[in-house]
Structure 1
Amino acid sequence: ALRARGCRVQIWTSHYDPERCFAETRGLDVRRAAGWLPRSVAGRGHALCAALRMALVAAYVLVLSGERPDVFVCDQVSACIPVLRLARIRKKVLFYCHFPDQLLTKRESFLKRIYRLPLDWLEEYTTGMADCIVVNSRFTAGVFKDTFKSLSHINPDVLYPSLNISSFETIIPADITDLVPKKKFLFLSINRYERKKNLPLALEALHELRGRLDSHEWNEVHLVVAGGYDKRVLENVEHYEELRRLASKLSVNDHVTFLRSFTDEQKISLLNNSVCVLYTPSNEHFGIVPLEAMYMRCPVIAVNSGGPLESILHNVTGFLCDPLPTQFSEAMEKIVRDPLLKDSMGAAGRVRVMEKFSSEAFTERLYQYIGRLIQ
């Protein structure tokens, strides 16, 4: 977005794998530092290690990189902000808050609660040090106000994420005939293999749908569970196996295909061939998958909370349901029963994305924020 407005953009991170990154980043100037610091210690302390890694990245940028940025843009981890403020010539910082990190973890033990206390304080304090704070949805803006009590005087602006539409138009769809059986009603779930994404809901809804259809209709139904998967992340590995076992338990494994870390070309093909996308997380901060689906003229069935309330129009571009298999399967049945619904909702979804979530709108808003910070 900023390069399109003539800015020189450099991205600094502690880990970057060109084989597993978003395709758009491969054309950007991505630098790495502090990758030697572990992601965890004996499987614990992920949040602490992430904060230390980003603080070290910020220190490297200031001291050793030789770069002289006009403004810093940080997202997710705010621990780097106080380090950036130490610059000899003070530069302003924009922080893009996706969701408070302290709400993304469980505190099941007394030791975990003690461990999180200083990290929670650090997140709130360092977030407040940013010169400009934006969030990805009105939902996140409300959570921001409720969570960071000492920052109640700050009203973060909403900067909706957008799609890189050009990539959808230029990518040549891959042949997926060897990955997915050819069926009339192909349902698609796209999410990381994480328990918080509530992927079992998609499998349970599929099981419920079976009871709503006759045998001929059921034989034409298939679900693809496609998700980001990193073998270094224990939860990805464990949850993938949990889902396979659940599909077998529900006796729907013959109607489910699990894909791990698919390519952009495969994703485009899957969206092209699907009648509907199932989006199962509750209280999702925003969710880019519904935008991708709607742009590709694919209706979305999503949970009626969080970001999807702002992106999906109920009964127009898809269906917003309680996170219950019965409600999801009822919406899926409507797609199966009405062959025109996919086309009408798909067309409305494309219009919705172009009007409200275009890359042009995102670029203009972000550039305005940057302009104010460097004045």
Structure 2
Amino acid sequence: MRVGLMTREYPPNVYGGAGVHVEYLSRELAKKIDVEVHCWGKQLSDEGNLHVRGAEPWSLLTEGKQEKFQAALEALSLNLAQMKPLAGIDIVHTHTWYVSMAGFLAKKLFGVPFVLTTHSLEPLRAWKAEQLGSGYAMSLWMERTAVLDADAIIAVSKGTKEDILLAYPEVKAERIHVIYNGIDLKEYQKTAETTALTQYGVDPNVPYVLFVGRITRQKGVTHLVEAIRYLPKNTQVVLCAGAPDTPEIAAEMREKVEEAKAFNPKVVWIEKMVTKPEVIQLYSNAAVFCCPSVYEPFGIINLEAMACRAPVVASATGGILEVVVDGVTGHLVPFDQDPVTKFPSKPEKFARDLAAKVSDLLENPEKAKRFGEAGRKRVEETFSWSAIADQTIELYRQLMKASNK
């Protein structure tokens, strides 16, 4: 069996949870079957059963100016260009809307089964119009076309399965298979190393609250920044936040951080996506990890933090509800959502509630330690990549068997 994994992100070009998922899934699958990873970028490598093939989209600059819709057009162009190297695969498996049409076209052209993993859903991310402009209509169309045609849809959580049925009521529930994200338990382990902390200006002797993620509406980082004013005075807060979706949200983030620093000078903003060893150090030494996402189909960063024994305070939404156990591995913070944007309808209350739960763990280090140990145990028992790869291969086999009837 030879599977074609389609993805925008692949190491070293990983900036989000979907890229992390494909990185580890491909590695684990390659222990048992042949895997071709088709990604964006100039990549070409062969290591055992794992074959990586990168490609570049068409250059679509308009009179020297980059339009917001360019990302959507580039995605479609690359999906078309990837058809030729897919001729030798037995099954195609796509990750995110950026490559969804590659799966749709491969099924039509080569007659192979098509699996689609949803890491998020475009209809539930109305703020993407800010990032993609008029290209948002194209991303909606590409995802919808692929979702309705896929032979099987993998949801990364039970909550995501419910979201799929809500966004695409035409999809039959039996076509949706829940297979969680995973974590490399050997790689993500608590460490006492603090060189990365001092390198980025974090005081390892002062407890700190940590955020890790992209600067995007979805991740809710600005709500955590707003919460800083409600935390105990001079709480050290580390914002490991880079890769802003748009110049507008980058400017908004900068303004809010400067406001927070005016009354709390112990805010450290690491304005880039750090390396894996560095982020493991940040997780390992954090007093509290905070995930304030307003939309999160799974939330792999919570797994990473839990694996490093960090207690978690996270918004009570989406797949987070299936990862973080309230009162056991951390605190969940519910909030009222706007039905269209998914943003908190009462943002100040959400910020205050986040601060209250974070403050509880800062003021109760024994509870925080207990939550951290329970988080590691939960990750070990439920989220290993080997089990996830086995479930995925079994789904491939079922689809190939059905297609050969």
TMscore range, shorter length = 0.7 to 0.9
Contact 1:34–1:56 under 8 Å retained in 2: no
Match of 1:247 among 260, 273, 276: 260
* SS, match of residue 149 in structure 2: coil
Q: Which amino acid aligns with 1:222?
A: Q
Distance change >3 Å, CA 302–CA 39, structure 1 → 2: farther
* SS, match of residue 240 in structure 2: strand
Q: Which amino acid aligns with 2:76?
A: L
Is 1:60 matched up with 2:84? yes
Runs of 4 or more, structure 1, over 6 Å off, are none
Distance change >3 Å, CA 49–CA 172, structure 1 → 2: farther
CA distances 1:340-369 after superposition (whole Å, capped 9, x unpaired): 112211111011111111222212211211
Match of 2:288 among 276, 296, 307: 276
The count of aligned residue pairs is: 349
- Residue 79 of structure 1: aligned partner: 101
Q: What is the TM-score normalised by the length of structure 2? A: 0.77
Task: Show structure 2 runs of 5+ residues with no match.
Answer: 1-24, 336-349
How far did 1:10 drift?
1.7
* Separation (CA, whole Å) in 1 of partners of 2:266 and 2:30: 44
CA distances 1:215-267 after superposition (whole Å, capped 9, x unpaired): xxx45x3110002426x953564354234333245x22x11111121111111
- Residue 144 of structure 2: aligned partner: 124
* Separation (CA, whole Å) in 1 of partners of 2:279 and 2:129: 37
Task: Show structure 1 runs of 5+ residues with no match.
Answer: 19-24, 211-217
Contact 1:13–1:57 under 8 Å retained in 2: no
Match of 1:224 among 227, 238, 244: 238
Superposed, 1:1-375 pairs within 5 Å as 1=25, 2-15=28-41, 29-38=51-60, 42-46=66-70, 48-62=72-86, 68-77=88-97, 78-88=100-110, 90-106=111-127, 120-152=140-172, 154-169=174-189, 173=193, 175=195, 176-179=197-200, 180-210=202-232, 218-219=233-234, 221-229=235-243, 234=247, 237-248=250-261, 251-252=263-264, 254-259=265-270, 260-323=272-335, 324-375=350-401
CA distances 1:116-161 after superposition (whole Å, capped 9, x unpaired): 5565344323222212111111111111111113224654111110
* Separation (CA, whole Å) in 1 of partners of 2:357 and 2:136: 40
**What's the RMSD between the two structures over aligned residues?**
3.1
Q: Which amino acid aligns with 1:168?
A: Y
Contact 2:208–2:237 under 8 Å retained in 1: yes
CA distances 1:41-98 after superposition (whole Å, capped 9, x unpaired): 7332156325413422432324xxxx5112111111222223102434x221211112
Q: What is the TM-score normalised by the length of structure 1? A: 0.83
Q: Which amino acid aligns with 1:350?
A: R
